[in-house]
Each structure stands twice: as C-alpha cells, then as structure tokens.
Amino acid sequence: MTPDLMEEGARRLAAYEARKAAAVNTESGGRSAAYGRIAKIGQPDFTQGVALYVDDISVSFDGFRALNKLSLAIDVGELRCIIGPNGAGKTTMMDCITGKTRPDSGKVSFGSTIDLLRLSEPEIAQIGIGRKFQKPTVYEDLSVFENLELALSGDRRVRASLFSRLSGEQLDRIGEVLGTIHLKGDAQRTAGLLSHGQKQWLEIGMLLMQDPKLLLLDEPVAGMTDEETERTAELFLSLEGKHSLVVVEHDMKFVDQLTQGRKTVTVLHEGSVLAEGLLSVVQNNEKVVEVYLGR
C-alpha cells in the first residue's frame, strides 16, 4: 500500500471513529444513542428463569397512590393475565416497566441483572420489551407489509429506512410474522382498510418484528368482535413460550381462554396485588368478588 493510501485510510478511520463517538454521546435518546448505551448495559440474564421482576414499587400522583408496594415476577416464556377494577394501577404498572413513569420507590428489573429504572423509554424498547397500547397505532396509509417493514428499523421515527432493500432474512421474518398474525393474504392491503381486530394484530406483528423477549399488552381485545377475540387468544397462546406476555384484560372469557384452567392470574386492586392464583380460585375469592367481579 502506498503511503498516501495509508494516510487516506487512517484519515477515514479517524473520521468514522469520531462519528461513532458523537452518535453514542447524543442526548436525544435516539436510536444511535440507545445502541451505544446497550453495549454498555450488556445483555439481560434470563438464566434464573425470570423475565421481569417488579419489586415493591410505589407511585403517587399528587398525593394519590396509584401503585402501593406492588411486587410480581414473570417467568421466561410465561403468559400472565392481570385483572382488576378500573383505576387499580394496571396501566401505571406497565408505564413503570416501560420507563414512561418512574416509580417513587422500589425496583424493576429485566432478567436478573438489568435495572430498568436506569434506562430511557427507547432503551427499554431496544433491549427487548415491546408494548401494545389499547388504540392501534399502525400507519393507515401504508400497506400491511410496509408497516412490518417499517417496524424492522426498531424506531418508528426513523422513516428514512422505509422501502430500503430487504435482505432475504428480513423478508423471511416478515413472511413468518404475517403468518403468525393471520394477515398473509392481506400483505398488500392498505392498513387503514383493515378491521379493528386486524389492525390490532398488525400492531402486535410490528412489535414481533423486533423479537421482544417480553410483550406488554393493555386491553388487547377491547372493541373486538367475539371471533376476533377468540383468534387473538389463539395468537397469544402461539406466542407463549417464545416470549413472555403480560396481558391486562377485563374480558373474563378471554382470560379464561388464555389461562386454560392452569395458569396464574394476578388481581390488582388499589395499586397492590390483591390475589394471585388460578382464575377459578381468584374468581371465588371473597375480596376479589367484592371489589371487582361481583359488581
């Protein structure tokens, strides 16, 4: 190699290193910042078999205690349903896991090592926690396929990646997710034309594109037809084992279908766990009947 070529190579390398350092140091909380931090955070450790620990967390809003020393643990691959009356703190709990709300006290960890309270919302999403809000937020003007393609970038703000060339592996992944969410035949349809239930499935598919370890689903079947609700239960059951799922729902028939008579259900009330156990057992728990199911 000639000296001038070596010099040019060294110059480019220095410029590249400078760009990389600048990207890692951004305070934007953006994609590059998140990647930089994750290298430092390290990989979550699931060897203890636990995906999520919520440990004694409390949150107050203007003196009102929305969460009161709440503790629970979700196993790797577990599908856990969380039920409880309006205002029990179910959504606030998800807000604390995803970094939207910071608890006043307590701990939240992902696997046995990652302290989620030290990470930003984008970092938490990046590290493998996907969240589905009640209202579907798909890009209505794009096709089903394009929505999934966009989700591959891992950050919905990064629209520049749209319509970039996909690798064979990425195409396979989109095909696989289309099958999982029962939208294979609708890949080219405009998302805005889908039914409410199909939009919900598409949004779940968008989360799946990131292959999250843990999925948080807040009232996923609200507004769905009975048939859509049943298919959603089948979808979640097909995800169980591959991902951990935390499902908040008021629809007891749906919860019954998900728990199959053998899984633990957690009942929240006034920001704490009121009862935990099989649905058939908690349904007959006097306190649960009084505050929730008996109404």
Residues lying near ligand ATP in the complex (CB under 6 A): 61, 66, 84, 86-92
Nearer to ligand ATP, 58 or 180 (CB): 58
Asked if residue 16 lies in contact with residue 8, where contact means CB atoms within 8 angstroms, the answer is: no
Report which of 165, 168, 178 is spatially closest to residue 208, judged by C-alpha positions: 178
CB of 53 to ligand ATP, least distance (A): 19
CB of 85 to Mg ion, least distance (A): 10
Angle of the 144-151 helix axis to the 168-180 helix axis, nearest 10: 120
Residue, CB closest to Mg ion: 91
Task: With H, G, I as helix, E, B as strand and everything else as coil, classify residue 220.
Answer: coil
* Phi, psi (rounded to 5 degrees) for 28: -70, -20
CB of 86 to ligand ATP, least distance (A): 3
Cα(105)–Cα(63) distance, integer angstroms: 14
212 binds, among ligand ATP, Mg ion, none (CB under 5 to 8 A by kind): none
Asked if residue 194 lies in contact with residue 203, where contact means CB atoms within 8 angstroms, the answer is: no
86 binds, among ligand ATP, Mg ion, none (CB under 5 to 8 A by kind): ligand ATP
Report which of 79, 115, 95, 1 is spatially closest to residue 246, judged by C-alpha positions: 79
Tell how far CA 140 is from the center of its chain. Answer: 21
Give the residue carrying structure tokens 């699931």: 46
Amino acid at 161: S
Nearer to ligand ATP, 147 or 232 (CB): 232
Question: What tokens were used for 149?
Answer: 């393609």
111 binds, among Mg ion, ligand ATP, none (CB under 5 to 8 A by kind): none
Cβ neighbours of residue 236 closer than 8 Å, sequence gap 6 or more = 79, 217, 220, 245, 247, 258
CB of 51 to ligand ATP, least distance (A): 21
CB of 229 to Mg ion, least distance (A): 18
Cα(179)–Cα(174) distance, integer angstroms: 9
66 binds, among ligand ATP, Mg ion, none (CB under 5 to 8 A by kind): ligand ATP
CB of 245 to ligand ATP, least distance (A): 17
88 binds, among ligand ATP, Mg ion, none (CB under 5 to 8 A by kind): ligand ATP
CB of 228 to ligand ATP, least distance (A): 20
CB of 91 to ligand ATP, least distance (A): 3
Give the residue carrying structure tokens 């949150």: 59
30 binds, among ligand ATP, Mg ion, none (CB under 5 to 8 A by kind): none
| Largest Cα span, the chain | 84
Q: How many residues bind Mg ion (CB under 5 A)?
A: 2
The span of 9-17, 86-94, 145-153, 157-165 binding Mg ion (CB under 5 A) equals 86-94
Out of 67, 74, 88, 91, point to the residue binding Mg ion (CB under 5 A): 91
87 binds, among ligand ATP, Mg ion, none (CB under 5 to 8 A by kind): ligand ATP
229 binds, among Mg ion, ligand ATP, none (CB under 5 to 8 A by kind): none
Report which of 282, 223, 288, 295 is spatially closest to residue 255, judged by C-alpha positions: 282
Given the rule CB under 5 A, which residues bind Mg ion? Answer: 90-91
